Amino acid sequence: MKPCNQLRVLVTGATGGIGSALSHRLAQDGVLLLLHGRSEQKLRKLAQKLGAETVQADITTQQGREKVLAASKTFQVNTLINNAGINQFGQFVEADIEQIMAINVVATMKLVQAFLPFFEAQAWSTILNVGSTFGSIGFPGYVSYCASKHALKGFTEALRRELSMSSTSVLYVSPRATATAMNHERVDELNEKLSVTVDSPEAVAAQIVEVLYTDRPTSQLGWPEKLQVKLNAVFPTLVDKSIASQLATIKAYF
């Protein structure tokens, strides 16, 4: 169990639904926070509530990542939570592939790459990547998003094994559907139509914090999602058939 008073955490995408709830939860525990986002106004408002430091930057650019790293060194960050990301719902032929991969995958990988020399020079450090159930189960309407989260999951797993003899822990948390402003109203309607259980950002944040404190390498949140992920890995054709029975409904919300 990591002591809260020794954690100095950078949260990327801190002003989003999960990011904000996570920042509030960590602040309640007395964790020192450096909050990242792209909106200076939103960052300032959140930081004032939590007594946190901020760094405004676009981490899809090298200049933005360098700014975040410089602020993290000054703040003496020892924990990086990669929460920044975007979602896209709709038919694949209209997907903005470059945008979703740039934010969800490339920016995260390059930020971690920049942080590693800084982290490995410390007695201990932690990288926690926030993924998605769709990083383990491909789902219609989220083709590019699923691809980005599959990539993030694979990146985390490989990096954890590469750094297993180092002082840096690499963790992966996979939330299920979460009620955030990132979801289009069509997504909310579809989730209701399919009877999908949707977690609050606060519930997800509580589980992420538990994973962080206990250094749990990989965590899939929610039931029956835990079972569905295992079924998809072992019997993907069963999941194919289940999703096929819902496909007309899903496409109606494109």
Residues with a known catalytic role: 145
Q: Is 158 exposed, middle or buried (0-12, 13-18, 19+ CB in 10 A)?
A: exposed
Nearest CA to 204 among 226, 189, 220, 187? 220
Task: Residue 36: name the closest of 4, 74, 83, 3 by CA.
Answer: 83
Can the peptide bond before residue 224 be classed as cis, meaning omega within 30 degrees of 0?
Answer: yes
CA distances from 195 to 90, 132, 159, 241 (A): 19, 18, 36, 18
79-82 and 125-130: which strand pairing? parallel
Take residue 94 and report the two structure tokens written for it: 């209209």
Which residues have CB under 8 Å from 124's CB, separation 6+? 78, 167, 168, 169
Who's near 215: CB < 8 A, 6+ residues apart?
Answer: 2, 126, 169, 171
**Contacts of 98-102 spanning 24+ positions with Cβ under 8 A:** 100/144, 100/145, 100/148, 101/144, 101/147, 101/148, 101/151, 102/60
